[in-house]
Amino acid sequence: MMWRKVGVALAGASLISFVALWEGDKKIAYADKLAYNVPTVCHGHTGPDVRVGDVWTKARCDAVLIGNLEKHGQGLLKCVSVPINQNQFDALSSWTFNVGIGAACGSTLVKLLNAGQYSEACNQLPRWDRAGGKQVRGLTNRRNAEKALCLTPVQPHRKAVA
């Protein structure tokens, strides 16, 4: 697992589980209707290696998800200039994976975050619930979950009492 000076784990178990919940897990590549028929497979993976009808293994899907989350998490961190906690990182990396690094880094959300307006930044997430110009219930639900996670303080670890 990789670490960055802001103290977050890239593609940690919590982020992987969170994104997998929202992206689903389709082993047969399909044309994603919400994403202008872009060939998609596994947990929302797109790219030149995806062709509609291809069948991917669970191991390949898991490896690609980790790689995608690390790529998008690192992309997010390159445009964030303030420290963020693990919950903020996980929520915003999930969002960045879904909307793209360029859209995330150019957003009002990141501008607010970099201005130290953490709550205001997290509260921007529900605005990103549209695909093809239309509000999508699944994206609304996802953004609300990301917002809740983003606003959740990280609890300190406690020692077990014998």
Do 40 and 28 meet the contact criterion of CB atoms below 8 Å apart?
A: no
* pLDDT tens per residue across span 24-35: 899 999 998 877
User: Where does residue 32 rank: exposed (0-12), middle (13-18), buried (19+ CB within 10 A)?
Assistant: middle
Determine the length of the chain. 162
To the query of whether residue 70 is one of the catalytic residues in this protein, the response is no
Predicted TM-score (pTM) above 0.75? yes
The strand pair at 38-42 and 130-131 is best described as: unpaired
To the query of whether residue 90 is one of the catalytic residues in this protein, the response is no
* pLDDT tens per residue across span 69-109: 999 999 999 999 999 999 999 999 999 999 999 999 999 99
Q: What is the mean pLDDT of residues 14-40?
A: 90
Q: Which fold has domain 13-150?
A: Lysozyme (1.10.530)
* Domain ranges, ordered by start, for the chain: 13-150
**What is the pLDDT at residue 96?**
97
Structure tokens at 37: 């028929």
Q: Which of 25, 32, 62, 70 is catalytic?
A: 32
Q: What is the DSSP letter of 159?
A: P
Q: What angle do CA 66, 122, 75 make, to 5 degrees?
A: 35
Of all residues in the chain, the percent with pLDDT exceeding 90 is: 77
